């Protein structure tokens, strides 16, 4: 079979290139924006994902991981007494001030646990030893903190909330949604750093279940024994934290708007070039009708051209989006383009390009077949 | 085929222009037998192209009846019209109307594809048709690399696809120089006579009379006596 759609498309290479550029631009925009949004959201819950807890006990109505208020640390005893609980520990999460050598102050999010190793956090220690946190006024910063706090090395000292702390290690990939650098401190040390707020108090209780324990039953019991706290499965707590940022701030709408505009640009470019191309090839389409073709034969040509533009445009847009990953990573941002997202964007691109072809379909349907006789 | 290849009876065609209704064709009747070559002449604006569009099932008549190869043409059923075009009609246009992105061979092959012939059979038939019109050494050339006469030969080869009963040609020599026009007319004559096809040629060119069996003249939407 002669593929007229393909031949027509490649016959005018410049027009095809312009169409592809429009589609590729949209695809890159959508992938990068969605990927950045995904990266930000991953940061919002990355510690929840890495913490080996099955259940999180939080303060009442906490909207997300970072916006927390404290409750009595003795609540953990009630949790430990619940059947099916294998281990339960208090976690402190608190914003504290770091004095910089320049005289300025920056904020850090302090994570404090009695036994970090037991919970698998931090998950990527790039220098130092977690055990050193228990050996004095020590702190481990994430490497990202260098962007905000200036250069530091293991062995340097920084003041946190006015107390001199020794940097005994560094981590990688430990980030927060707000981009505030993370610091890891021993549980009791954190309470000493912020005694007014934290003495005798904790931010969360992390719960690990016995193998085979009924999570729902344990959660019901936890809610009963801790009526002034909330109890979440880890995945639900992560989802709640992400939802907060998506729904309660402009970031979700912002991402939606950029994706929408990206799609709009793509549709307009494809619709415009396909329509112009249809107008220029009107006599050819009239000839298709004259020599026995139907409207459907012409729709197939236009539909195939739209689909080919979508697929080639997607590839051309996908490659730069992937190439941007290291550039974005160098700015300490994350671009997450999972294969599911790529497939959705590909399907969306094909669908929108076909939609853009509808304008041309309408034109073709109204072709006066006798135009083939006109000079 | 028994009976006329083209039978048109009392064809009228009205066009609306604003509030006005213009009657372009006023009751034209014409019959063309298989193997017959008929010329249609007339001044510009007389309705020749409208008439050939109606015969070609590209335009519906306001009133009157058309039969192509014995098949009633009903303008209210577009899919049936496409079917008649596909099975019984071939077209040759003044501007050739070739697909610029397809080679000579592909232009003919595509028409065969639309008529339901594909693969090796289509390739072979397209090559045979191009051989018949004397383009055996130009099969893989794009139209832009060919002369007007060669383009018209491709158009003729394309019109012959599927062995139609009727070929409608609109000013087929108007874009050609005298020598090439003469060659194209000879080719038309040969193909019509050999295969017993009805050939209707709309033209201003008096040289066409050389190959026609008769000429019908349209003036002001009517057949002149």
Over residues A101-134, the pLDDT tens digits come to 899 999 999 999 999 999 999 999 999 999 999 9
Handedness of CA A6, A7, A13, A16 (dihedral sign): negative
Distance from CA of B185 to the nearest CA of A (A): 19
Per-residue pLDDT tens digits of chain B, which is 225 residues long: 668 999 999 999 999 888 899 999 999 999 999 999 999 999 988 999 899 999 999 888 999 999 999 999 887 777 788 889 999 999 998 888 999 999 999 999 999 999 999 999 999 999 999 998 889 899 999 999 999 989 999 999 999 898 899 999 998 888 888 888 888 899 889 888 888 899 999 988 888 999 999 999 999 899 885
Q: What is the C-alpha separation between B66 and B54, in angstroms, rounded?
A: 8
Phi, psi of A283 (to 5 degrees): -65, -40
Query: Residue B68 is encoded by which pair of tokens?
Result: 């192509």
pTM: predicted TM-score of the whole model, two decimal places: 0.77
Q: Would you call A293 and B114 a contact, using CB atoms and an 8 Å cutoff?
A: yes
A201 CB near a chain B CB, below 8 Å? no
3-state secondary structure chain A: CCCHHHHHHHHCHHHHHHHHHHHHHHHHHHHHHHHHHHHHHHHHHHHHHHCCCCEEEEECCCCCCCCCCCEECCHHHHHHCCCCEEEEEEEEEEEEEEECCCCCEEEEEEEEECCHHHHCCCCCEEEECHHHHHCCCEEEEECCHHHHHCCCCCCCEEEECCEEEEEEEEECCCCCCCCCCEEEEEHHHHHHHCHHHHCCEECEEEEEECCCCCHHHHHHHHHHHCCCEEEEEHHHHHHHHHHHHHHHCHHHHHHHHHHHHHHHHHHHHHHHHHHHHHHHCHHHHHHHHHCCCCHHHHHHHHHHHHHHHHHHHHHHHHHHHHHHHHHHHHCCCCCCCCHHHHHHHHHHHHHHHHHHHHHHHHHHHCCCHHHHHCC
Is residue A334 within 8 A of residue A36, CB to CB? The reply is yes
Q: Per DSSP, what are the bridge partners of residue A96? A: A108
B97 CB near a chain A CB, below 8 Å? yes
* Residue B15 included in any domain: yes
B109 CB near a chain A CB, below 8 Å? yes
Please tell me whether residue B55 adopts helix, strand or coil conformation: helix
CATH number at residue B138: 3.40.50.300
Closest CA to B101 of A237, A277, A50: A277
R_g of chain B, CA atoms, integer Å: 17
A7 CB near a chain B CB, below 8 Å? yes
Q: What is the C-alpha separation between B136 and A13, in angstroms, rounded?
A: 29
Q: Which domain holds residue B176?
A: 6-223
Is residue B41 within 8 A of residue B61, CB to CB? The reply is no
Q: What is the C-alpha separation between A231 and B51, in angstroms, rounded?
A: 83
Query: Residue A40 is encoded by which pair of tokens?
Result: 């930000």
Handedness of CA A246, A251, A254, A255 (dihedral sign): negative
DSSP letter, residue B172? T
CB-side exposure of B24: number of CA atoms within 13 Å? 20
* Residue B24 included in any domain: yes
Q: Would you call A287 and B94 a contact, using CB atoms and an 8 Å cutoff?
A: no
pLDDT at A76: 97
pLDDT at B2: 64
pLDDT at A189: 96
Q: Would you call B106 and A7 a contact, using CB atoms and an 8 Å cutoff?
A: yes
Q: Would you call A294 and B93 a contact, using CB atoms and an 8 Å cutoff?
A: no
B119 CB contacts (<8 Å, ≥6 apart)?
A1
Q: What is the C-alpha separation between B54 and B190, in angstroms, rounded?
A: 26
Closest CA to B107 of A308, A11, A306: A11
B98 CB contacts (<8 Å, ≥6 apart)?
B107, B143, B151, B154, B155, B158
Which B residues 4-43 touch A at CB under 8 Å? none
Q: Per DSSP, what are the bridge partners of residue B37? A: B199
pLDDT at B219: 92
pLDDT at B181: 87
pLDDT under 70: residue ranges of chain A: 369, 375
A8 CB near a chain B CB, below 8 Å? yes
Q: What is the C-alpha separation between B39 and B205, in angstroms, rounded?
A: 10
Nearest to A4 among B87, B99, B119 (CB): B99
Q: How many domains is chain B partitioned into structurally?
A: 1
ipTM summary value: 0.87
Query: Residue A347 is encoded by which pair of tokens?
Result: 């399907």
Nearest to A292 among B86, B102, B119 (CB): B86
* Residue B1 included in any domain: no
């Amino acid at each position: 079979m002669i593929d007229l759609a393909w031949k027509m498309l490649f016959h005018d290479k410049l027009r095809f290139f312009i169409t592809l550029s429009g589609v590729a631009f949209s695809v890159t925009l959508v992938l990068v924006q969605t990927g950045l949004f995904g990266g930000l959201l991953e940061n919002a819950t990355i510690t929840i994902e890495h913490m080996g807890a099955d259940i999180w006990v939080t303060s009442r109505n906490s909207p997300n991981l970072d916006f927390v208020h404290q409750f009595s640390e003795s609540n953990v005893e009630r949790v430990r007494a619940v059947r099916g609980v294998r281990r339960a520990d208090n976690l402190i999460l608190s914003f504290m001030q770091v004095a910089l050598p320049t005289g300025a102050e920056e904020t850090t999010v302090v994570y404090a646990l009695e036994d970090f190793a037991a919970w698998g956090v931090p998950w990527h220690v790039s220098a130092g030893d977690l055990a050193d946190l228990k050996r004095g006024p020590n702190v481990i910063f994430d490497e990202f903190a260098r962007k905000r706090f200036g250069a530091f090395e293991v062995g340097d000292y920084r003041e946190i909330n006015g107390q001199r702390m020794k940097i005994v290690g560094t981590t990688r990939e430990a980030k927060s949604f707000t981009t505030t650098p993370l610091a890891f401190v021993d549980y009791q040390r954190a309470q000493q750093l912020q005694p007014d707020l934290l003495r005798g108090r904790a931010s969360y209780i992390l719960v690990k279940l016995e193998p085979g324990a009924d999570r729902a039953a344990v959660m019901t019991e936890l809610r009963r024994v801790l009526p002034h706290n909330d109890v979440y499965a880890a995945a639900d707590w992560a989802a709640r934290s992400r939802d907060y940022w998506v729904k309660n701030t402009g970031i979700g709408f912002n991402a939606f708007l950029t994706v929408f505009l990206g799609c709009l640009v793509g549709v307009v470019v494809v619709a415009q070039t396909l329509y112009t191309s249809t107008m220029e090839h009107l006599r050819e389409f009239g000839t298709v009708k004259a020599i026995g073709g139907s409207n459907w034969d012409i729709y197939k040509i236009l539909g195939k051209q739209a689909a080919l533009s979508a697929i080639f445009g997607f590839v051309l847009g996908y490659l730069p989006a992937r190439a941007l990953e290291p550039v974005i990573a160098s700015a300490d941002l994350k671009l997450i383009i999972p294969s599911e997202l790529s497939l959705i964007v590909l399907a969306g691109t094909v669908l929108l390009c076909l939609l853009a072809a509808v304008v041309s379909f309408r034109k073709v349907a109204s072709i006066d077949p006798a135009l083939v006789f006109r000079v | 085929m028994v009976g006329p290849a083209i039978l048109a009876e009392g064809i009228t065609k009205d066009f609306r222009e604003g509030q006005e209704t213009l009657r372009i064709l006023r009751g034209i009747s014409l019959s063309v037998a298989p193997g017959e070559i008929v010329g249609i002449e007339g001044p510009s604006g007389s309705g020749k192209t409208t008439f050939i569009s109606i015969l070609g099932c590209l335009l519906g008549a306001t009133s009157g009846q058309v039969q192509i190869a014995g098949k009633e043409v009903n303008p209210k059923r577009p899919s049936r019209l496409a079917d008649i075009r596909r099975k019984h009609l071939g077209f040759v246009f003044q501007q050739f109307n070739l697909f610029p992105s397809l080679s000579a061979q592909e232009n003919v092959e595509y028409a065969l594809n639309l008529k339901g012939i594909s693969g090796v059979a289509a390739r072979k038939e397209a090559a045979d048709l191009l051989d018949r019109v004397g383009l055996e050494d130009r099969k893989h050339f794009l139209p832009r690399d060919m002369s007007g006469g060669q383009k018209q030969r491709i158009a003729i080869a394309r019109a012959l696809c599927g062995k139609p009963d009727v070929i409608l040609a609109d000013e087929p020599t108007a874009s050609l120089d005298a020598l090439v026009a003469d060659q194209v007319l000879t080719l038309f004559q040969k193909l019509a006579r050999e295969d017993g096809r009805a050939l209707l040629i709309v033209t201003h060119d008096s040289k066409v009379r050389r190959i026609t069996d008769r000429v019908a003249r349209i003036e002001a939407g009517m057949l002149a006596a």
